[in-house]
């Protein structure tokens, strides 16, 4: 019966957290994306998500934030965090970046949805 189940993903989004005040990533509010999985794949997905965060900000006409990366001791978890000014759009950008980095969404579809959020 194991053949009937889809394969487990090499990486999963463990947490998307809105940090409201100073935190270990920035001295102002930030968004944190935390991924878990295979050590090599988790670093790749986290870096991709960070680059997508910057790309989506740029495409929407916002200044691209500085993205901070951290990794757990055992290498199975990695985090990307960035400071935010507008909570709703920053949270939407983080979710979109995570979906694209994990291969669940496409850049084009996510950008279209983000434009709707940014305008509204």
pLDDT tens digits for range 57-109: 999 999 999 999 999 999 999 999 999 999 999 999 999 999 999 999 999 99
pTM of this prediction? 0.90
- In 3-state terms, what secondary structure has residue 49? helix
CA dihedral 75, 77, 82, 86 (to 10 degrees): 170
Nearby residues of 41 by Cβ (< 8 Å), 6 or more positions away: 10, 11
* CATH code for position 76: 3.30.300
Number of domains forming the structure of the chain: 1
Q: Identify whether the C-beta of residue 18 lies closer than 8 Å to the C-beta of residue 81.
A: no
Q: What residues make up the domain containing 24?
A: 2-119
C-alpha 16/C-alpha 29 separation (Å) is: 14
In this predicted structure, what is the pLDDT of residue 1?
A: 45
């Amino acid at each position: 019966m194991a053949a009937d189940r889809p394969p487990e993903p090499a990486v999963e989004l463990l947490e998307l957290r809105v940090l409201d005040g100073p935190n270990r990533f920035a001295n102002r509010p930030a968004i944190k994306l935390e991924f878990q999985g295979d050590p090599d794949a988790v670093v790749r997905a986290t870096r991709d998500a960070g680059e997508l965060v910057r790309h989506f900000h740029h495409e929407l006409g916002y200044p691209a934030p500085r993205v901070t990366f951290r990794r757990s001791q055992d290498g199975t978890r990695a985090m990307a965090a960035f400071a935010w000014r507008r909570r709703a759009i920053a949270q939407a950008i983080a979710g979109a970046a995570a979906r694209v980095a994990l291969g669940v969404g496409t850049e084009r579809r996510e950008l279209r949805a983000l434009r709707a959020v940014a305008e509204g």
